[in-house]
Structure 1
């Protein structure tokens, strides 16, 4: 999906209880990873593995902006803005299951898009899941192509 950031449709305001911050330390980055695992409902062994990795200073990459959304101080939603080749890519928009259907994903996406626009980017791109596609369309994203994904029907083991 593609969006001209000059035509960004400012949808509903952020939920009052949500605060969005840019990740700027290792603890916040670990919380970002943990929300990603919970939000995408990764199998527990994979979530545990991802949480245990030392990512170093990944959150300091100049082309990456990691966001954490908090409700009552708890990390509950995330998004990632990747800046490259004149494009603003939106990735890893996720909300923990118990906090869905409250507008948090929209707010997390909008925060990244507004930052991209403020930084002078004009075009934003993303790949949408079925869960997120309507949110992105409401913000003004348009489909430009579709692709199929395939996965195994057999459960996998993560060591």
Structure 2
């Protein structure tokens, strides 16, 4: 059964992914699909998110979309929908991959008290070039893929979608970054990454504290995020609590554009 926090989580989720992807389509009340680009190219991705509400005919529509996709596919399935979806996705040659966890923090309970060294600077990124620097190392992104992702964020900024990009610099070198998205008074963290050479020094924690303090200053009462399995313990230590889990399924390859019979419109 969905709680208020679950519903608000999905609200921030839908806002962030619709803001950073040019094409979006909804199937029923809890299944959304996004394309990273309107054209078939090596950086494009069909990204489908399946919530926990009754799926009705939505999963059949998604199956049709996956069959006709000309690009790699990534489907993220809520734990409550897993029993319904898993075997159907596997029949479409998708394989189970990583797991993630939806989490929430009530900002009224948040206390920003983390010391910052004199050689550390935290603030809004002067440019997306600065914000994207740590992401290449943190997520092992190829240069072309990073440029494509950065361009999508720039479009969202130009449209005024409520994205704020934070960076942390050590001796003027940007080593950690994240995205704070604001939607109807709700906050969400995404893209939390630290350059691999600077991990284990608490920089991501300092940056998250700064972003949370900024979100509370803007009036947000809740902050949401989707944590990797490795990140759950960190976010728990910051006061976040678990809402539910996601299971990801992927189809690494695609089919040719000539074979593609279904597109998002």
TM-score range relative to shorter protein: 0.7 to 0.9
Q: Decide which of 96, 103, 106 is 1:4's aligned counterpart.
A: 106
- Measured after TM superposition, the shift of residue 131 of structure 1 is 2.9
Q: Decide which of 207, 217, 221 is 1:118's aligned counterpart.
A: 217
Determine the structure 2 residue equivalent to 1:129: 228
- Measured after TM superposition, the shift of residue 34 of structure 1 is 2.5
Unaligned 5+ residue runs, structure 2? 1-102, 255-265
Structure 1 residues 79 and 65: CA distance shift in structure 2, 3 A: same
Determine the structure 2 residue equivalent to 1:103: 202
Determine the structure 2 residue equivalent to 1:14: 116
Structure 1 residues 62 and 50: CA distance shift in structure 2, 3 A: closer
Q: Distance in 2 between matches of 1:6 and 1:15?
A: 26
Across the aligned residues of Structure 1 and Structure 2, the Cα RMSD in angstroms comes to 2.7
Q: Distance in 1 between matches of 2:140 and 2:114?
A: 26
Q: Distance in 2 between matches of 1:119 and 1:54?
A: 21
- Measured after TM superposition, the shift of residue 21 of structure 1 is 1.6
Unaligned 5+ residue runs, structure 1? none
Q: Decide which of 66, 74, 79 is 2:173's aligned counterpart.
A: 74
Q: Distance in 1 between matches of 2:212 and 2:242?
A: 17
Determine the structure 2 residue equivalent to 1:84: 183
Determine the structure 2 residue equivalent to 1:147: 246
Is the contact between residue 128 and residue 150 of structure 2 (CA under 8 Å) also seen in structure 1? Answer: no
Structure 1 residues 13 and 151: CA distance shift in structure 2, 3 A: farther
User: Normalized against structure 2, the TM-score is what?
Assistant: 0.51
User: Normalized against structure 1, the TM-score is what?
Assistant: 0.81
Matched residue count: 152
